[in-house]
C-alpha cells in the first residue's frame, strides 16, 4: 500500500489513460451532434444527447485512475484530456471552416456533425475540467475517510458530485438565453442528463470493481492520498 512514495512507472497506467482520453474525445465529437429519443416503461419518453452514452464512462476511468494510482496521477490525465479536447475542438473548427470543393456536396451535414459553436465548446471544456477534478478529489478524500472500504460509495458518491458540477455548469453556460433550449426547460434537461450519467456509473459498478481489484493486484498499488497536494493547477507530483 502506497501513501506518500514518489510516483513510479506502472505497467497498465498508460492504457487506462488512453482509454480515458479516447472516451472523452468520442463523447464530445461523436455524441453531441445527435439528439436521441427513447420510451422507457416507467419514465416515459426520454430525450437526450447521444453523448451521454460516452461521457459517464470517462468518469468510470477517472474513478479507476484515482482509486488505484492516486490523485496526482489522475490530475495529469485530466489535464491530458483537457489538452486533447482543446486540440480536437480547434482542429474541428478549422476543418469545418475550410472551403469545400465544388463537387463535394456534404458541407451542411459536416457543419451539423462537427460545427459546434465556440460557446458550447468552451462550456463543455469548463464543465469537464471542473467536474472531473471534483470527481477525483471527492473519491480520493472519501477513500481516506472510509479507510479503503466500500468502493461503491466512493465511485457513486464522487460521480454524483462531479456530474452535478458538470451539468450545473455546462447547460447554463452553453444554452441559457440562446433559444436552443428554452430557459425554463434547462433544469429538466440538466436533471435528465445528470440522472442518466449517474445511472451509467451505477450500472458499471460491478465492472469497476473487477477492473480496480485486478489493477491493484497487477500493479501492486493501492494509493492513499494522505499527503497529496490537491491543487488542480499544478502538475508536480
* pLDDT tens track for 104-153: 999 998 887 787 778 888 999 999 999 999 999 999 999 999 999 999 99
Length of the chain: 237
Tell me, what's the pLDDT at 9?
Answer: 85
Beta bridge mates, 181: none
d(CA 5, CA 22) in angstroms, rounded, equals 29
Place of cell 479536447: 85
Tell me, what's the pLDDT at 131?
Answer: 96
Tell me, what's the pLDDT at 1?
Answer: 57
pLDDT band per the 50, 70, 90 thresholds, residue 32: low
Digit-coded pLDDT (tens) for 34-61: 667 888 888 788 777 677 778 788 999 9
- What are the φ/ψ torsions at residue 38 (nearest 5 degrees)? -130, 160
d(CA 194, CA 161) in angstroms, rounded, equals 10
Tell me, what's the pLDDT at 4?
Answer: 44
Place of cell 512514495: 5
pLDDT band per the 50, 70, 90 thresholds, residue 178: confident
d(CA 183, CA 79) in angstroms, rounded, equals 32
CA quadruple 192, 195, 201, 205: dihedral positive or negative?
negative
Range 193-221 average pLDDT: 93
At 74 the three-state DSSP class reads: helix
pTM of this prediction exceeds 0.85: yes
Domains in the chain, CATH or no CATH each: 13-219 (1.10.1760)
Q: In the chain, how long is the greatest CA-to-CA distance?
A: 64
Amino acid at each position: 500500500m502506497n501513501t506518500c512514495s514518489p510516483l513510479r512507472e506502472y505497467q497498465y497506467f498508460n492504457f487506462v489513460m488512453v482509454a480515458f482520453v479516447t472516451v472523452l474525445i468520442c463523447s464530445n465529437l461523436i455524441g453531441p451532434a445527435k439528439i436521441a429519443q427513447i420510451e422507457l416503461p416507467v419514465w416515459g419518453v426520454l430525450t437526450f444527447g447521444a453523448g451521454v452514452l460516452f461521457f459517464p464512462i470517462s468518469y468510470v476511468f477517472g474513478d479507476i485512475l484515482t482509486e488505484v494510482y492516486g490523485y496526482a496521477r489522475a490530475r495529469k490525465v485530466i489535464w491530458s484530456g483537457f489538452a486533447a479536447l482543446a486540440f480536437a475542438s480547434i482542429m474541428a473548427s478549422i476543418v469545418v471552416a475550410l472551403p469545400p470543393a465544388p463537387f463535394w456536396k456534404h458541407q451542411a451535414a459536416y457543419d451539423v456533425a462537427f460545427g459546434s459553436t465556440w460557446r458550447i465548446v468552451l462550456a463543455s471544456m469548463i464543465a469537464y475540467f471542473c467536474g472531473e477534478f471534483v470527481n477525483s478529489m471527492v473519491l480520493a478524500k472519501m477513500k481516506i475517510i472510509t479507510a479503503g472500504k466500500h468502493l461503491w460509495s466512493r465511485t457513486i458518491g464522487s460521480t454524483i458530485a462531479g456530474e452535478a458540477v458538470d451539468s450545473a455548469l455546462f447547460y447554463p453556460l452553453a444554452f441559457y438565453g440562446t433559444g436552443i433550449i428554452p430557459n425554463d426547460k434547462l433544469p429538466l434537461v440538466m436533471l435528465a442528463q445528470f440522472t442518466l450519467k449517474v445511472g451509467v456509473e451505477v450500472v458499471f459498478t460491478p465492472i469497476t470493481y473487477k477492473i480496480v481489484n485486478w489493477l491493484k493486484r497487477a500493479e501492486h498499488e493501492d494509493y492513499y492520498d494522505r499527503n497529496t497536494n490537491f491543487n488542480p493547477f499544478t502538475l508536480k507530483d
